[in-house]
């Protein structure tokens, strides 16, 4: 069993009126199965309201499944006594960088998680230093988070999670509020953690470009996992993606249109680089 496994996961938001009678039920996550292996870089894609955040919050035991079971490192998140272990194993980074930084100094914020876990003082400082280094923010350790850029704040938030030494981090649209530079900064930090420290990453996003390097992709729509597979497999199904109101990376889209127009291009081109190479090959073949 992988580090995260979900079986027929269902989550319902139940709205009640004043008397406590059920007013409406919104099924935000609908029979989702996941199986994530340690060290993987997983991307979850989906249109607004497709249930991505609801799923993410369950991975951290912030929400408890209405039906089905979710295991994090073999521990059922439904059991009250597992909650702390689950949160230690799967750290969580949220969308708004301002609303997840607790302290007024960077290093104090990074130390917040370890403090909560009761880690001894010297060990906290060691972890703070290590995790700030791992996201390239060590030189800002004494700064106020208010004076940092969005990308830097988000990296501090990631360091705050890393200091709890999780095996997995779940990032819920960490780049949605950032400019292109900030997005690149954050993504390269996350990729580096995955590569160098073997941290399992579950990245939720609706920027297709961020999904290109994933080991595996899940696409969600209306609470269900509607597609899953390797990036090449997912992005070769342009029509299917469009049906779920998702875009494809620009290079992929261009390749798709060119192919439709008659050029002999393969499916599943993901980057500009690949597209350029394939086009060159076409050209060479053509001139021959």
Ligand X SMILES: Nc1ncnc2c1ncn2[C@@H]1O[C@H](COP(=O)(O)OP(=O)(O)OP(=O)(O)O)[C@@H](O)[C@H]1O
Contact residues for 259 (Cβ-Cβ < 8 A; gap 6+): 265, 267
> Which one of 84, 139, 195, 281 is in contact with other proteins (CB under 8 A)?
84
Closer residue to other proteins (CB): 26 or 273? 26
Tokens of residue 66, six digits? 């209405």
**Structural element, H or E, at residue 152:** helix 150-162
* Sole window of 50-58, 64-72, 235-243, 280-288 interacting with Mg ion (rule: CB under 5 A): 50-58
117 three-class SS: helix
Task: Report what 51 binds from ligand X, other proteins, Mg ion, none; CB cut-off 5-8 Å by kind.
Answer: ligand X
- Residue 89, interface with ligand X (CB under 6 A)? no
* Sole window of 27-35, 52-60, 126-134, 188-196 interacting with Mg ion (rule: CB under 5 A): 52-60
Angle among Cα 207, 212, 213 to the nearest 5 degrees reads 125
Of 128, 94, 123, 134, the C-alpha closest to 112 is: 128
Please state, in angstroms and rounded to a whole number, the distance separating the CA atoms of residues 154 and 159. Answer: 9
The mark string for 53-72 relative to other proteins (x by CB under 8 A, - otherwise) is ----x--x-x----------
- Residue 50, interface with Mg ion (CB under 5 A)? no
- Residue 48, interface with ligand X (CB under 6 A)? yes
* Sole window of 8-16, 136-144, 206-214, 232-240 interacting with other proteins (rule: CB under 8 A): 136-144
Q: How far is CA 225 from its chain centroid?
A: 15
- Residue 198, interface with ligand X (CB under 6 A)? no
- Residue 53, interface with Mg ion (CB under 5 A)? yes
* Sole window of 53-61, 101-109, 149-157, 238-246 interacting with Mg ion (rule: CB under 5 A): 53-61
Please state, in angstroms and rounded to a whole number, the distance separating the CA atoms of residues 191 and 223. Answer: 27
- 215, 41 in Cβ contact below 8 A? yes
Please state, in angstroms and rounded to a whole number, the distance separating the CA atoms of residues 221 and 278. Answer: 32
Residue ranges in contact with other proteins by CB under 8 A: 57, 60, 62, 84, 87-88, 91-92, 94, 96, 98-105, 107-108, 111-121, 124-125, 128, 142-146, 160-161, 164
Residue ranges in contact with Mg ion by CB under 5 A: 53
């Amino acid at each position: 069993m992988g580090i995260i496994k979900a079986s027929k996961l269902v989550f319902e938001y139940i709205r009640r009126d004043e008397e406590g009678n059920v007013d409406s039920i919104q099924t935000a996550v609908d029979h989702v199965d996941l199986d994530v292996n340690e060290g993987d870089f997983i991307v979850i894609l989906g249109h607004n309201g497709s249930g991505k955040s609801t799923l993410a919050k369950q991975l951290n035991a912030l929400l408890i499944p209405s039906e089905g079971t979710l295991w994090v490192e073999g521990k059922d998140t439904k059991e009250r006594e597992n909650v702390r272990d689950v949160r230690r194993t799967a750290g969580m980074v949220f969308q708004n960088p301002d609303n997840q930084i607790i302290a007024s100094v960077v290093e104090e914020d990074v130390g917040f998680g370890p403090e909560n876990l009761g880690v001894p003082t010297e060990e906290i400082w060691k972890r703070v230093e290590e995790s700030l280094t791992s996201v390239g923010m060590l030189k800002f350790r004494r700064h106020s988070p208010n004076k940092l850029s969005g990308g830097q704040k988000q990296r501090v938030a990631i360091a705050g999670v890393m200091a709890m030494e999780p095996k997995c981090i779940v990032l819920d649209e960490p780049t949605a509020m950032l400019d292109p530079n900030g997005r690149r900064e954050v993504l390269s930090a996350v990729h580096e953690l995955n590569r160098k420290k073997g941290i399992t990453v579950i990245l939720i996003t609706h920027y297709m470009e961020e999904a290109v390097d994933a080991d595996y992709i899940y696409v969600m729509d209306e609470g269900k996992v509607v597609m899953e597979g390797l990036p090449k497999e997912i992005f070769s199904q342009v029509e299917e993606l469009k049906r779920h109101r998702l875009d494809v990376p620009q290079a992929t889209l261009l390749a798709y249109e060119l192919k439709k127009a008659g050029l002999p291009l393969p499916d599943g081109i993901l980057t500009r680089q690949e597209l350029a190479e394939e086009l060159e090959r076409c050209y060479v073949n053509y001139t021959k």
